[in-house]
Structure 1
Amino acid sequence: MTARLVDFQDACEASRWRAINDAVMGGVSRGGLHGEDGVGVFAGETSLENNGGFASVRRDPEAMDLGQASGVVLRVRGDGREYQLRLYTDQLPRGAAYRAIFRPKGDEWQRVELPWHAFEAMFRGRRLPEVPALDASRIRQVGLMIVDRQTGPFRLEVVWLAEL
């Protein structure tokens, strides 16, 4: 097994995550992350009211030198909705992130592999042109987001995130 970067078997892991939802822009979506029996549960409800539509969580900043890895892999169980894994570095302006999209099948544990080339630089829902490619040795923070233009409840369960 490759090195685990995030492991919800650690009882303290869920306390390292903070919610950042569309209320920062006037929206009314809600979401957060909590631990349930060794699993991190990113759950809530998205709403398109007041130009909203997203919920996200970010892990406390921690340098992760993944320069030798070819990407990241997650062990997840989803609900059929589309999610993003977001990686934050010092390469982009504040608030911008490199994101990769994944859609885990509903109610089935699976391994989701995200190679570095799957990540694109984004800021407030728009691709950032002419920015450097993700330098995996400079990752400082990870996050999860749902912004699939659908309303209703969501639930993504994560056991771990590891090097690929």
Structure 2
Amino acid sequence: MNRLFLIIALCMTYSHPYRAQEANLEYNFGSKGCGDCGWFVVVDCVMGGLSSGLINVNDSGIVMRGAISLENNGGFASLRTPFDTLDLSQYKELVIRYASSGQDFSFTLNNYRRFWQPRFKATLPVTEGEWKTETVTFESFAQYRFDEQIGGAPSQTALQKILRLGLISSDKVASEYMMQIDFIRFQ
């Protein structure tokens, strides 16, 4: 009986190790934080493209680097969370500390699992390798289907039902790229 109670108690208090806690929603990457926090790379090869991307973790954060190729209808690289349900409606903005080169990236908020469904995006300008801390309000996001803007900022209802967070290359030009993230904090 005591063993069963212990198992139930552990299951009730267990927090997924890769999911940021909603009460203090922050992804603190790097070897002194949550490592990759469960984020992973998806490039256009899933649709026949030839772009590349790899991630590694160091003391300064998570680093994604590779090359965007336009060959074979390619042209994107992304860093994403696993699917999960996040309620971001209590927050007004996100703060991200990052360094990038080669491409602008967009921060994405997804309400759907299918890639062709709309998502909300906000551009993070390339920093040419310099660290930058950017505050992005939810009001500055717009809804896109692929590269076409089809709507404005997310509603409170949409923010209650976020299934995935991500970063995706924005420029659709062939180049090498690097995106390094220290932290992402919602406030």
Please list the CA deviations of residues 90-134 of structure 1 after superposition, one character each: whole Å capped at 9, or x if unmatched. Answer: xx5732321111114212211111111221222232333599646
Please list the CA deviations of residues 36-80 of structure 1 after superposition, one character each: whole Å capped at 9, or x if unmatched. Answer: 224111211101111211111211233332212111110111126
Relative to its length, the structure with more strand (as a share) is 1
Cα distance in 2 for residues equivalent to 1:77 and 1:130:
27
Q: Pick the aligned partner of 2:71 from 49, 52, 64.
A: 49
Report whether the alignment pairs 1:66 with 2:92: no
Report whether the alignment pairs 1:161 with 2:181: no
Asked if the contact 2:29/2:182 (under 8 Å) is kept, the reply is yes
- Correspondence for 2:35: 13
Percent identity of equivalent pairs: 25
More relative contact order, 1 or 2 (CA 8 Å, 6+ apart): 1
Cα distance in 1 for residues equivalent to 2:102 and 2:134:
13
TM-score (norm: length of structure 2): 0.74
Q: Which runs of 4+ in 1 moved over 4 A?
A: 129-132
Cα distance in 2 for residues equivalent to 1:59 and 1:69:
19
Cα distance in 1 for residues equivalent to 2:40 and 2:113:
20
Asked if the contact 1:76/1:104 (under 8 Å) is kept, the reply is no
Q: Which runs of 5+ in 2 are unaligned?
A: 1-22
Relative to its length, the structure with more helix (as a share) is 2
Report whether the alignment pairs 1:110 with 2:132: yes
Asked if the contact 1:66/1:139 (under 8 Å) is kept, the reply is yes
Q: Which runs of 5+ in 1 are unaligned?
A: none
Cα distance in 1 for residues equivalent to 2:85 and 2:141:
18
Cα distance in 2 for residues equivalent to 1:130 and 1:114:
15
TM-score (norm: length of structure 1): 0.84
Asked if the contact 2:108/2:120 (under 8 Å) is kept, the reply is yes
Decide which structure has the larger Cα Rg and report it: 2
Cα distance in 2 for residues equivalent to 1:26 and 1:80:
22
Measured on the aligned residues, the alpha-carbon RMSD in Å equals: 2.5
Asked if the contact 2:141/2:152 (under 8 Å) is kept, the reply is no
Deviates more, 1:33-42 or 1:133-142: 133-142
